[in-house]
């Protein structure tokens, strides 16, 4: 395609690749999203932004192409914002999403519904080979369900209920279609802010 721009997505997570491919295809068809098979850096930052930059820098250096990376997780108010950057490892370094969800539900099992507020957060970092760096943040507010529902999505999707739904038919993200999630998710919101920056490449 004439005028196509190639950008590397710095992740080895196939779920993130699929989700970003859907977001990119819907909003920026002029972008060619390239996969990343290089070394995985140590994510030793203490914020979403720091970890996103670590991954994007590694991919840009390895490929010689502009690269963006997402660092994301769920932050629960009553837990002081945790799991946060530790979302993928909440139940241990096995990165077991089922164990992570079960531990989170157990930790707040006695918390009443009005106090289960939470948000999905995604920070996307864009790094170019010449060293330019930018970050954007997308936030998707909601609350944690009292039990898992739905087989869709990944990570904490089956326990996260986004705000803005009809109370009589509220669904977890695990019950949403891929298209619904791609249109409204924290990653979609962050990418909407990133798109103008990509246009400057």
Residue 23 CA neighbour count, 13 Å, CB half:
22
Phi, psi of 10 (to 5 degrees): -85, 80
Residue 154 marked ligand-binding: yes
Residue 157 marked ligand-binding: yes
Stretch among 16-20, 134-138, 142-146 having the lowest mean pLDDT: 16-20
Which residue in the block uniquely carries the two structure tokens 């108010």? 77
Q: pLDDT tier at 197 (50, 70, 90 boundaries)?
A: confident
Is 178 one of the annotated active-site residues of the chain? no
Residue 193, burial from CB neighbour count under 10 angstroms (0-12, 13-18, 19+): middle
Helix (H, G, I), strand (E, B) or coil at 56: helix
Q: pLDDT tier at 2 (50, 70, 90 boundaries)?
A: very low
Domain carrying residue 86: 5-198
- pLDDT at res. 3: 62
Domain count, the chain: 1
pTM (two decimals)? 0.92
CA-wise closest residue to 119 among 140, 90, 97, 88: 140
CA-wise closest residue to 76 among 122, 42, 108: 108
**Domain containing residue 49: CATH number:** 3.90.950.10
pLDDT tens for 53-112 read 999 999 999 999 999 999 999 999 999 999 999 999 999 999 999 999 999 999 999 999
Catalytic residue among 30, 44, 70, 71: 71
Residue 116 marked ligand-binding: no
Which residue in the block uniquely carries the two structure tokens 């060619």? 32
Residue 110 marked ligand-binding: no
* Average of per-residue pLDDT values in the chain: 93
């Amino acid at each position: 395609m004439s005028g196509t721009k190639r950008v590397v997505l710095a992740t080895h997570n196939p779920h993130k690749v699929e989700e970003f491919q859907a977001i990119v295809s819907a909003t920026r068809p002029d972008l060619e999203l390239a996969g990343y098979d290089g070394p995985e850096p140590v994510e030793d930052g203490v914020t979403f932004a720091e970890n996103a930059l670590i991954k994007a820098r590694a991919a840009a250096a390895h490929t010689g192409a502009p690269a963006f990376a997402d660092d994301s997780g769920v932050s629960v108010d009553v837990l002081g914002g945790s799991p946060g950057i530790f979302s993928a490892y909440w139940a241990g370094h096995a990165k077991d999403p089922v164990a992570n969800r079960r531990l989170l539900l157990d930790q707040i099992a006695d918390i009443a519904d009005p106090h289960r507020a939470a948000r999905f957060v995604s920070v996307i970092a864009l790094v170019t080979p010449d060293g330019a760096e930018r970050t954007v943040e997308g936030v998707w507010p909601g609350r944690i369900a009292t039990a898992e529902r739905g087989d869709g999505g990944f990570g904490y999707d089956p326990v996260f209920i986004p705000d803005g739904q009809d109370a009589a038919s509220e669904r977890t993200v695990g019950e949403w279609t891929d298209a619904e999630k791609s249109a409204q998710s924290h990653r979609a919101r962050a990418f909407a802010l990133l798109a103008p920056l990509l246009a400057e490449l």
